[in-house]
Amino acid sequence: MMEPRKFSCMEAPLLEVRDLRLEFSTFRGVSKVVDGANLTINNGETVVLAGETGCGKSLIAKAILRLIPSPPGKIISGEVFFKGKDLLQVQDADLQRIRGKEIALVPQDPMLSLNPVYTIEDQILTLMLWQSRKVELKSWLALDGDKKIRKESKEKALAILNSMRIASPELILKRYPIELSGGMRQRVLIAMALLGQPKLLIADEPGTALDSTVQDKIIDLLKEKIKSEHLSTLYITHDLATALKVADKIAIMYAGRIVEFGNAKDVFQEPLHPYTVGLLRALPRLQGNMGDGIPGMIPDYVNPPSGCRFNPRCDHRMPICEKTKPEMIEVRPSHFTECYLYSSDRKI
């Protein structure tokens, strides 16, 4: 197997995912859900990972943090370099020091990510103490009598909530998650993710469970924090409008493979891969029709198509597309795609 093509950059990337492969054991057989994904994020840039629901976007985020449930999931091969260190090979103790501090995650569903039986204050202050002292929740609750530590930590918690434009943060700290709106819970989670001043933020479709108005406010706020904190960010979404709003670069993912990668404007204005073209054509228009959908269905991951996984749905399919997986090639400066339409190896 050939070594995957690396995206070029002037400096060593903050995060580099190389040839990542994930499988899940199911009653039907082995599901090959991520099939050789490659991704690069440089310091200070926001890369959006976009694609249809079920294409494997969130699994890549979980694999970076080694959060794939095993069994049934398994990382078959690949490397995930963060600051030059392969996270798939580091010891658990080292990984624990990286999670939540150097790499922070904003999960998709805030209600499932906050503990329903503890107040927001206890959860934020516990995270603070864990990041600095690595103690468990019960140890923190035992420090109620240490007024100095609790006062200093509470002041920091109030400051971070204020920075998220949360009204009456003193009252919010005393609330339980069920007492907050979805938008407020999402703001709390973003605040918690930023507590440790991470080098890399992974935002997994934040605001998806919220109504569109609240979601837009959350996205705007997160974008503002990314800029002010100079964060490197992996932003996961199925919404191309959101992708264009926040991205410096976009990686388009289809059925477990990243099929196009480039600067956001280049990908939107001059898409290369037929799948990207189809996604953009499917967007609703302010005038005219609702957009043209892509015919067909996403492939069966247990028995995926040979060659290019998009070939059963592609209008430009050639014989070679059904036999051999295309390699990522640079078609234009810093604009890459996996497609034989741009390869000298194509055979019609």
Q: What is the pLDDT of residues 97-124, one digit of tens each?
A: 898 889 999 988 777 889 999 999 888 8
> What is the pLDDT, as a whole number, of residue 155?
87
> What is the pLDDT, as a whole number, of residue 207?
74
- Tell me how crowded residue 3 is: count the other CB atoms within 10 A of its CB: 7
98: phi then psi, degrees, rounded to nearest 5 = -85, -40
Which stretches in the chain have pLDDT values below 50?
Answer: 1-9, 134, 145, 346-348
Show me where the domains of the chain are located. 15-102+199-214+228-342, 110-194
Q: Which of 246, 248, 308 is nearest to 273 (CA)?
A: 308
Give the whole-angstrom CA distance, residue 19 versus residue 7.
13
Q: Which fold has domain 15-102+199-214+228-342?
A: Rossmann fold (3.40.50)
Question: What separation in angstroms does the CA of 302 have from each of 37, 71, 240, 307?
Answer: 17, 17, 28, 15
Report the alpha-carbon angle 210-279-110, nearest 5: 20
> What is the pLDDT, as a whole number, of residue 104?
93
**3-class SS letters over 286-303:** CCCCCCCCCCCCCCCCCC
Q: Residues 103, 65: contact at Cβ < 8 Å?
A: yes
pTM tops 0.85: yes
